[in-house]
Amino acid sequence: MAFDNSVSIMPKQVHSTDNFSMANKLGQGGFGPVYKGKLKDGKEVAVKRLFSSSGQGIEEFKNEIVLISKLRHRNLIRLIGCCIELEEKILVYVYLPNKSLDTFIFDMKRQAELDWSKQFCIIGVVARGLLYLHRDSCLRVILRDLKASNILLDKKFKPKISDFGLPRLFLIGRKVSARFLQPGNSSNRFLAICYHKIPDKTIVWVANRDNPANDTSGVLRIGNEGKLVLVDRAERVLWSSNNMNTSSQSIVAQLLDSGKF
């Protein structure tokens, strides 16, 4: 049965995944595993089986799905249906054949398929999708989990952002706390907004683009050749991905070189 004319409630048997077999598993996300499935008409879909910790009732879940389904943009993956049976909650999305960006950038053999022009295009398209979510959508969604595995690619390598509305399903009824973090012996304190317990070893580095406070701040920029550059307030290059001769006075540059950030 359909509701809100934008997303449908589907019986589980409509989107066969061979009982969630490992052969059909596409990946594992923070909200649950994803499987390849088929509708009765033969259309391929991606089926996300949500973890039971989503923790809300049926009507509350339906209401959230209706809200998520209103997020429509050419750079977002489209939700086409859901299945609700007892404690089982399943979301059905459009299937994209090239899976996610991480399957290319972390695979030495497949990296060559993504030349710099494709990478640059992906960056721009993802940025437009984020702009829609943050500024132009009806919900003003702040995406807290942008990563390569959440950027899906169609057969022409055009990206679409996924998992953009799922935090709403998992954070219903949970308290949000604001606290100050003071890592180690640092004299600086940082304001954090937390949904979960913060590990004791968490370190937060803050960079203010408009008013850098000291040499722990900098701006990362991407050049046309794909070079990543860190510059300070005076536009001095502190660090470059193509040059290991970094400024020893910059803490951020040292962190980038060490990989411990």
Q: How far apart are CA 177 and CA 11, in angstroms?
A: 38
Annotated catalytic residue 145: yes
**Around Cβ 130, how many Cβ atoms within 10 Å?**
18
Rg of the Cα trace of the chain? 21
Assigned token pair, 27: 């990946």
Spot the catalytic one: 145, 210, 232, 257.
145
- Burial zone of 155 (CB within 10 Å; 0-12 exposed, 13-18 middle, 19+ buried): exposed
| CA-angle at 227, arms to 128 and 163, nearest 5° | 35
- Residue 99 makes CB contacts below 8 A (sequence gap 6+) with 26, 27, 152, 153
Helix (H, G, I), strand (E, B), or coil: what is residue 91?
A: strand
Assigned token pair, 156: 């022409």
Assigned token pair, 248: 């020893």
Assigned token pair, 41: 């008409």
Give catalytic residues, as residue numbers.
Answer: 145
